[in-house]
Amino acid sequence: MSQKKNNSPQELIELAKEIRKNAYAKYSNYAVGAALLGKSGKVYTGVNIENAVYPLTICAERTAIFKAVSEGEQEFDAISVVTDNGGSPCGSCRQVLAEFGLDMVVYIADGEGNLLEETTVRKLLPRAFGAKDLD
C-alpha cells in the first residue's frame, strides 16, 4: 500500500495498526505493522512475514523499506511500528533504517495505537555502521 495523506504521527500509527492485521506470524504470534513516510509524502506499509525456516523471516519495517525502494523512493521522514506490547525495531531493522537516514523519526506504538515512544534511528542505533565505514 502506498498513499498520500496528511501523514501525522497518529495517522502513520493507525495505518501500521490496520496493516498489522495482514501479518503472517503463525509461529511467534507476534504480529507487527509498519508505515513508512517517504519524502515524497507517500506512505508504504509492511508486515512481518514468518517462515518455518526462521532466518528467512522478514520484519515489517524491512518489508516497508524494501517496498518503497522497489517503487523508487529512497528518502524517508518517519516510520511507525505497531505491536501488541510496543516492541522496538530489532537490530537488523535498525541497520536497514540507518542506511536510509539516521535522523528518520521512529514512532513506537502498542496494539491499541497508543504512541509509547518517539525517537530517531540515530538514537536507536548509536555509532551506526554505514557507507563511510567502507572507505
For the chain, what is the radius of gyration of the CA atoms? 14
pLDDT at residue 105 is higher than 70: yes
HSE of 41, CA atoms in CB hemisphere, 13 A = 3
Provide, rounded to the nearest whole percent, the portion of the chain with pLDDT above 90: 93
Q: Indicate the number of domains in the chain.
A: 1
pLDDT of 6 reads 60
Digit-coded pLDDT (tens) for 39-64:
999 999 999 999 999 999 999 999 99
**Model confidence, pTM:** 0.93
Full residue range of the structural domain in which residue 102 is found: 2-134
pLDDT at residue 3 is higher than 70: no
CATH number at residue 38: 3.40.140.10
pLDDT at residue 20 is higher than 80: yes
- Check 11, 18, 61, 99 and give the catalytic one: 61
Active site residue 61: yes
Fill in the amino acid letter for 19: I
| Residue 112 to residue 115: CA distance in whole angstroms | 9
pLDDT of 135 reads 86
